[in-house]
Amino acid sequence: MIRHLLLDLDNTLYPKQAGLIEHIDQRIDNFLVQRLRMERQAVNSLRRLYYEKYGTTLRGVKENHGVDPLEYIAHAYHVDISDFIAADPKLRQVLQGISWGKAVFSNSPLDYVNRVLTALDIRDLIDRIFDVTFSDYRGKPDPATYRQVLQVLGVTGNECVMVDDYVVNLLPAKELGMTTVLIGAEEQPDYVDFRLDSIYQLRDVWVALGEEF
């Protein structure tokens, strides 16, 4: 029996076309060019390396360059959310129609997550937030982070549905027994149970799992 919904934030609860995460990526690049005194192309290569090894650029530069995570976050996420997204009544209706508990599980920092959820007008529908600081900056797709989330929620993997736009983040979820939902991507490996074009179709997963009243 499903008890909880784990929702990614960026490019999942709002569309990639909003451009918010692309803007943040540019701010991260600018910060690292200045902080690490590297050429932009070298920073791009370094970020790809750290994403593959650690799951986030933040953890990579923290572990290997001694960058203060708070300094990184203060620069990267200093953005006006309203320039990119607004209240989404359709998303609110979709989430209100699903009675599972709802948590956001994101590699972004807490203040930013709260601001995005508030801008979308769904903050009151979210029971818990697991941000990048929750697991000492390990984040997704580190399996230990997923186990921590399950422990805090007091549920097993079989009782959770995880929704994310990065397919790599869904593999640890499936290995822990979760039902996995991929948003936006065209690929659907065998460890992905549902692929949706948009978060607005999440109600279809609810129905497919036999939860319609």
Query: Quick check: 8 pLDDT over 70?
Result: yes
Among residues 150, 157, 197, which one has the least CA distance to residue 177? 157
Q: Which tops the pLDDT comparison, 73 or 210?
A: 73
Helix/strand/coil (H/E/C) assignment for every residue in the chain: CCCEEEECCCCCCCCHHHCHHHHHHHHHHHHHHHHHCCCHHHHHHHHHHHHHHHCCHHHHHHHHHCCCHHHHHHHHCCCCHHHCCCCCHHHHHHHHCCCCEEEEECCCCHHHHHHHHHHHCCHHHCCEEECCCCCCCCCCCCHHHHHHHHHHHCCCHHHEEEEECCHHHHHHHHHCCCEEEEECCCCCCCCCCEEECCHHHHHHHHHHCCCCC
Lowest-confidence region among 45-59, 74-88, 109-123: 45-59
Query: Quick check: 211 pLDDT over 80?
Result: no
pLDDT tens, position by position, 86-108: 999 999 999 999 999 999 999 99
Q: Are 178 and 161 in contact (CB under 8 A)?
A: yes
CA–CA separation, 163 vs 205, rounded Å? 11
- What is this structure's pTM? 0.93
Identify the structural domains of the chain with CATH numbers, from first to last.
4-15+84-208 (3.40.50.1000), 20-76 (1.10.150.450)
Query: Quick check: 162 pLDDT over 90?
Result: yes
Mean pLDDT of 166-184: 96
Query: Quick check: 174 pLDDT over 60?
Result: yes
Q: What is the mean pLDDT of the chain?
A: 94
Query: Quick check: 133 pLDDT over 60?
Result: yes
- The pLDDT-based confidence of 187 (bands split at 50, 70, 90) is confident
- The pLDDT-based confidence of 213 (bands split at 50, 70, 90) is very low
Query: Quick check: 54 pLDDT over 90?
Result: no
